[in-house]
Amino acid sequence: MKPLLLGLCLAATLSASTAAAQGIPVPEAWDYVRMTPEERSALRDRVDALPPELREAHTTKLSANVNTLPTWLYEALSNELVARHHCTTGSYNGPMPKPPVPDAWGYVKRVPHQRYHYRLRARGLPAAEKAVYDAKMAEEMAKLPAWLQAALQEEAVRYDAYLGLDPCKRPGIGAFYSDAPKAVSTPQSVQWDLTSSKGQTYRIMIAPPLTPPPAGGYPVVYVLDGNANFGTVSDALRLQGRRPDRTGVSAALVVGIGYPIDGPFDEKRRGYDYVVRSPGSTSPKHGEGGQLEPDSGGGAADFLSFIETELKPAVEKAYVVDRTRQTLLGHSFGGFFTLYTLFNRPQAFQNYLAFSPSVWWNNRSLLEDERRFIAARKAGDPPVSVFVATGGLEETKRIPMVSDSREVVSRLKAVTGVKTDIYIAEGEDHGSIVPTALSRALRARIGDGFKK
């Protein structure tokens, strides 16, 4: 990107002092920033009028100076230079070339001002050629997910409003890169609220890989407590999925299932959706203030039905998904629900990641579900995998989280077609186990781990 700022420069053959001798001093980086857009444009015009060797020396020196600026400011100045120079020459260094039609994902991988450059060049085409070009571009854009098409359109509107169809008359960089704080969001992610057939509204968050789906579709990870865990999981997969040959983690679509709230947890709703019904008298005190509702839980079956019959079809309508590589990830009550799903509808997912599962809930009734699951398994059933992680500090007399996890995994290890792993993270507690164990779980389950 940076070489675009001042044109394509060869190695300088003359010193900056030679250019200065022509009456055009080379400004220092921050002096250049403090100039108005009109002053920077006038400087460029004066430098362009120099003999080639003097112009080369000046631009090389100025480029070296401006290279020391923060990247965001460098890009802002680059946008400004590209836009203004287009008004007079049509390109950086000569007549405007005819724009090629980029492939869809190649277009996505370009930086915003390069995409703006494409649009400016396309606008200069004769009407008949532009119609053909626009049709081919539309065909390429149709290959992208709808959310990404919308994001590119929003970017185009924003850049065109700022840089304008007549870029020489637009405001300075401050109009686009202001000092005002800006919202931070998880890259490439979208969210919407989905109301179930039961009238319950869930906030759905999706982070797809910024690569075309493989032939079989994207692997997909469904994340419970999406308000709290979506960012952690999507960031881990976005970073590690870039180099699966080194990380052992494949790129995957992440679907967070949360609630329409601002905080990380909706304690009341998750306490109903994720677990089976339990009279308060039969379960340990839990939750905020150590109290339970007189009659708690009971929504697990309906919540699982919502995921299978309503959420998954909605996701698969928007994205190409590999149904043979689906993962469910949950923590605490979400860990209970993850194991509940495995024991009651094992075909729903292929991978189950249960962090600190609340096996203790409802007087350990989950163990009865496990018993029925094991008894019903037979040769030829589709294989499933289970990864259980618990913090070493979670073992207490009231809630023996570590012992419960070991007990469940020890029985599952003996079941044909069930791949199991357990990780006890020493020194970690209930709140720290997800980020601590996440990479291990992803490496073991999202893909085939490290291949030796």
Placement of tokens 């003999």 in the chain: 51
Higher pLDDT: 190 or 335? It is 335
Flag whether pLDDT at 5 surpasses 50: no
Of 422, 282, 264, nearest to 356 by C-alpha is 422
Higher pLDDT: 387 or 214? It is 387
pLDDT mean over 370-391: 95
Measured CA to CA, the distance from residue 446 to residue 244 in angstroms comes to 10
pLDDT of residue 179: 45
- Confidence grade of residue 48 (pLDDT, cut at 50, 70, 90): confident
Say what percent of the chain tops pLDDT 90. 43
Measured CA to CA, the distance from residue 106 to residue 104 in angstroms comes to 6
From 196, 310, 365, 430, active-site residue? 430
Measured CA to CA, the distance from residue 105 to residue 386 in angstroms comes to 35
pLDDT in tens, 216-260: 999 999 999 999 999 999 999 988 887 888 888 888 999 999 999
Sign of the CA dihedral with 356 first, then 357, 361, and 367 last: negative
pLDDT in tens, 394-427: 999 888 999 999 999 999 999 999 999 999 999 9
Flag whether pLDDT at 393 surpasses 80: yes
Q: What's the start-to-end Cα distance of the chain, in Å?
A: 37
Helix (H, G, I), strand (E, B) or coil at 322: strand
Sign of the CA dihedral with 305 first, then 308, 313, and 319 last: positive
pLDDT of residue 387: 97
pLDDT of residue 345: 97
Placement of tokens 């792993």 in the chain: 421
Average pLDDT, the chain: 81
- Domain range summary for the chain, segments of one domain joined by +: 2-175, 190-445
The CATH number of 190-445 is which of 3.50.50.60, 3.40.50.150, 3.40.190.10, 3.40.50.1820?
A: 3.40.50.1820
pLDDT mean over 95-116: 74
Q: How many CB atoms lie within 10 A of CB 140?
A: 15
Distances, alpha carbon 109 to alpha carbons 132, 199, 219, 349, in Å: 23, 40, 22, 32
- DSSP secondary structure letter of residue 103: -
Type and span of the H or E element at 39? helix 37-48
User: Highest mean pLDDT range out of 137-141, 163-167, 287-291, 443-447?
Assistant: 137-141
Measured CA to CA, the distance from residue 445 to residue 452 in angstroms comes to 16
Helix (H, G, I), strand (E, B) or coil at 200: coil
- Confidence grade of residue 8 (pLDDT, cut at 50, 70, 90): very low
Flag whether pLDDT at 428 surpasses 60: yes
pTM of the model: 0.64
Measured CA to CA, the distance from residue 337 to residue 354 in angstroms comes to 9
pLDDT in tens, 172-218: 444 444 444 455 667 678 888 999 999 999 999 999 887 778 889 99
pLDDT of residue 19: 44
- Confidence grade of residue 152 (pLDDT, cut at 50, 70, 90): confident
Distances, alpha carbon 77 to alpha carbons 96, 370, 416, in Å: 21, 62, 62
pLDDT of residue 42: 84
Helix (H, G, I), strand (E, B) or coil at 243: coil
Flag whether pLDDT at 157 surpasses 80: no
Q: 41 an active-site residue?
A: no
From 332, 356, 358, 405, active-site residue? 332
Higher pLDDT: 57 or 371? It is 371
Q: 75 an active-site residue?
A: no
Look at 73-77, 155-159, 187-191, 256-260 and tell me which has the smallest mean pLDDT. 73-77
**Strands of the sheet with 218-224, listed across from one edge:** 190-195, 201-207, 253-258, 218-224, 321-331, 351-355, 384-391, 418-425
Flag whether pLDDT at 110 surpasses 80: no
pLDDT in tens, 285-331: 554 455 555 567 889 999 999 999 999 999 998 888 999 999 999 99
Measured CA to CA, the distance from residue 305 to residue 311 in angstroms comes to 9
- Confidence grade of residue 162 (pLDDT, cut at 50, 70, 90): low
| Helix, strand, coil in percent for the chain, rounding step 5 | 50, 15, 35
Q: 394 an active-site residue?
A: yes
- DSSP secondary structure letter of residue 310: I
Measured CA to CA, the distance from residue 285 to residue 383 in angstroms comes to 36
Of 172, 206, 203, nearest to 189 by C-alpha is 206
Say what percent of the chain tops pLDDT 70. 77
From 56, 75, 80, 394, active-site residue? 394
